């Protein structure tokens, strides 16, 4: 039987159209290509435009990666053209429509794959692309599911849905213990679904379709590393009854400064930020950033700003969009001037990994997106956790209770839209912001232990990605597995 080798393989990846999914998938593409596999990443023109320079640099380094584009049929689902990605917090109705447009990509994606040369050897697609299981079956290649969040989240949601415990819990906000987990994990019903009071029937139906498609997938790739959550990895292998490869933290593949600085988008003024950080004491700065989608009301941003101001702790605060009222508060009402000597405001996209890995940064106020969580782990930086929606509440529990490297800001209810389209969030007062930030950044014994644990995890993360480390070995095993599947296919045709 002819053997299929690594350099004959062609992996095709379908990331979800969101920064938090695209960024790790592109890192993963570069890791796979670094091992000699050809990789095609398929996404929309809007998302592709942000990754062209990083792919061009990978090509200059002789990595075989290409970006191919598919346009979302937005008009067909009744969405305007600029709703072409999960770049903003969507109403449940708009989110359902965007997922519906992604589901319409099945045929165009299959046509694109049939025209590729060399022909695809496997599909690695986001959990939210259930149709890719059908396409892979028709092309007679494996479909591998990609999960952005880690095994803790995956196991919690698996247990919650498979045990049907949610059906027995009436209150949406009462805490209960999830059965059968390695640790006694307390959650609320709202935190499991992650979408406040607004999760619609069509969202749940889509979720179950994706779970069904995962059941007939060849295996699962998870963006985590075994040493971070070994018990949860073991349990997820048992629960899913299929091959699981933990291949992260993939961000550690970024060795080139430009690649680190431009992860996901181009940040402005990178040198100014680094110079500002160079002038601060080691471990003294708090970095504040709530990811690529989450937004806060002007009232909340002002409370956060006043809380930051009252701590006297140096900070970098990344703000995506400012309303007129906030702009006025920043400039005319003097916030920026008042904090000038110790506060740096980043308008727009921050070079997050670069900032977090600077020795001056000693804490991170995060919304607990899984990438941000892993990025703080890799930098050995403890966190203030301020979850908003989706997997973020469970990630918070993991970071605070299992890893013990975080302090909660104290939000319990996911942000959601009411039926009238009003966005609801729990207001956190400036006094609470101050207390929690000081708790994280101070030199108490508890704070020192938290920092020590974070640094230990950073070492483990690095070791996992180095040659011979668990994630390195898992990437080899994934490639070998697909090569074997292709060898078997050649043998039977």
With contacts defined by CB under 6 A, name the span among 101-109, 137-145, 286-294, 477-485 that binds ligand UDP. Answer: 286-294
| Helix ranges (DSSP H) in 163-200 | 165-168, 189-193
Among 263, 280, 358, 434, binds ligand UDP (CB under 6 A): 263
Q: Minimum CB separation from ligand UDP for residue 378, in Å? A: 11
Written in H, E and C, the secondary structure of 121-146 is: CEEEEECCCCHHHHHHHHHCCCEEEE
CA dihedral 191, 192, 198, 201 (to 10 degrees): -170
Q: Minimum CB separation from ligand UDP for residue 370, in Å? A: 5
Judged by CB under 6 A, the chain residues 315 through 374 that form the site for ligand UDP are 318, 349-350, 352-353, 369-372
Q: Minimum CB separation from ligand UDP for residue 357, in Å? A: 11
Regarding 291 and contact with ligand UDP (CB under 6 A), the answer is yes
CB closer to ligand UDP, 121 vs 397: 397
Q: Minimum CB separation from ligand UDP for residue 173, in Å? A: 23
The whole-angstrom distance between residue 273's C-alpha and the CA centroid of its chain comes to 24
Q: Minimum CB separation from ligand UDP for residue 114, in Å? A: 32
Rounded distance between C-alpha atoms, residue 153 and residue 159, angstroms: 10
Q: What is the largest CA-CA distance in the chain?
A: 75
Regarding 375 and contact with ligand UDP (CB under 6 A), the answer is yes
Rounded distance between C-alpha atoms, residue 71 and residue 162, angstroms: 35
Among 293, 428, 465, 475, binds ligand UDP (CB under 6 A): 293
Judged by CB under 6 A, the chain residues 10 through 49 that form the site for ligand UDP are 18-20, 23
Concatenating the DSSP letter of every residue in 398-422 gives IIIIIS--EEE----S--EE-TTS-
Regarding 273 and contact with ligand UDP (CB under 6 A), the answer is no
CB closer to ligand UDP, 289 vs 475: 289
Closest CA to 19 of 262, 221, 210: 262
Beta-carbon contacts of 21 under 8 Å, excluding residues fewer than 6 positions away, are 15, 126, 146, 148
Number of residues located near ligand UDP, criterion CB under 6 A: 21
How would you classify the pairing of strands 38-43 and 219-222?
unpaired
Q: Minimum CB separation from ligand UDP for residue 302, in Å? A: 20
Judged by CB under 6 A, the chain residues 129 through 188 that form the site for ligand UDP are none
Closest CA to 230 of 447, 464, 440, 448: 464
| Whole-number Cα distances in Å, 206 to 5, 103, 122, 130, 291 | 37, 10, 24, 9, 25
Among 92, 194, 264, 307, binds ligand UDP (CB under 6 A): 264
Regarding 245 and contact with ligand UDP (CB under 6 A), the answer is no
Rounded distance between C-alpha atoms, residue 106 and residue 436, angstroms: 47
CB closer to ligand UDP, 129 vs 136: 129
Among 43, 44, 84, 292, binds ligand UDP (CB under 6 A): 292
Residues within the interface to ligand UDP (CB under 6 A): 18-20, 23, 263-264, 289, 291-294, 318, 349-350, 352-353, 369-372, 375
């Amino acid at each position: 039987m002819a053997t299929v080798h690594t350099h004959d393989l062609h992996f095709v990846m379908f990331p979800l159209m969101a920064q938090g999914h695209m960024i790790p998938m592109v890192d993963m593409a570069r890791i796979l290509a670094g091992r000699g596999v050809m990789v095609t990443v398929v996404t929309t023109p809007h998302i592709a435009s942000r990754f062209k320079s990083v792919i061009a640099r990978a090509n200059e380094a002789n990595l075989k990666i290409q970006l191919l584009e598919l346009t979302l049929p937005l008009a067909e689902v009744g969405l305007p053209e600029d709703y072409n990605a999960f770049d903003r917090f969507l109403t449940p109705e708009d989110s359902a429509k965007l997922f519906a447009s992604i589901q319409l990509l099945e045929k165009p994606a299959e046509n694109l794959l049939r025209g590729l040369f060399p022909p695809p050897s496997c599909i690695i697609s986001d959990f939210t692309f259930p149709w890719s299981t059908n396409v892979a079956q028709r092309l007679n290649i494996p479909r591998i599911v990609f999960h952005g969040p880690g095994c803790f989240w995956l196991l919690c949601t698996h247990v919650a849905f498979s045990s049907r415990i949610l059906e027995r819990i009436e209150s949406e906000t009462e805490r209960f213990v999830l059965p059968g987990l390695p640790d006694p994990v307390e959650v609320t019903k709202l935190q499991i679904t992650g979408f406040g009071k607004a999760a619609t029937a069509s969202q749940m139906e889509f979720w179950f379709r994706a779970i069904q498609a995962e059941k007939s997938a060849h295996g699962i790739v998870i963006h985590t590393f075994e040493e971070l959550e070994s018990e949860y990895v073991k349990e997820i292998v048992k629960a899913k009854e299929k091959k699981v490869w933990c291949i992260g933290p993939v961000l550690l593949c970024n060795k080139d400064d430009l690649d680190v600085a431009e992860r996901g988008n181009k940040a402005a003024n990178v040198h100014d930020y680094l110079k500002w950080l160079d002038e601060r004491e080691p471990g003294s700065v708090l970095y504040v950033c709530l990811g690529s989608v989450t937004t806060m009301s002007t009232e909340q941003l002002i409370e956060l700003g006043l809380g930051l101001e009252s701590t006297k702790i140096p900070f970098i605060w990344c703000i995506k969009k400012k309303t007129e009222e906030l702009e006025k508060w920043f400039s005319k009402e003097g916030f920026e001037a008042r904090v000038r000597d110790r506060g740096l405001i980043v308008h727009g996209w921050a070079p997050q990994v670069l900032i977090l890995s600077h020795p001056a940064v000693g804490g991170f106020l995060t919304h607990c997106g899984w990438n941000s969580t892993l990025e703080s782990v890799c930098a050995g930086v403890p966190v203030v956790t301020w979850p908003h929606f989706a997997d973020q509440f469970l990630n918070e529990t993991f970071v605070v209770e299992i890893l013990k490297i975080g302090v909660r800001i104290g939000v319990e209810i996911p942000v959601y839209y009411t039926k009238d389209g009003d966005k609801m969030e729990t207001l956190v007062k400036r006094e609470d912001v101050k207390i929690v930030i000081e708790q994280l950044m101070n030199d108490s014994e508890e704070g020192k232990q938290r920092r020590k644990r974070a640094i230990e995890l950073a070492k483990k993360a690095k070791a996992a990605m180095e040659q011979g480390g668990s994630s390195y070995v898992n990437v080899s095993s994934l490639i070998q597995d697909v090569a074997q599947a292709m060898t078997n296919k050649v043998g039977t045709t």
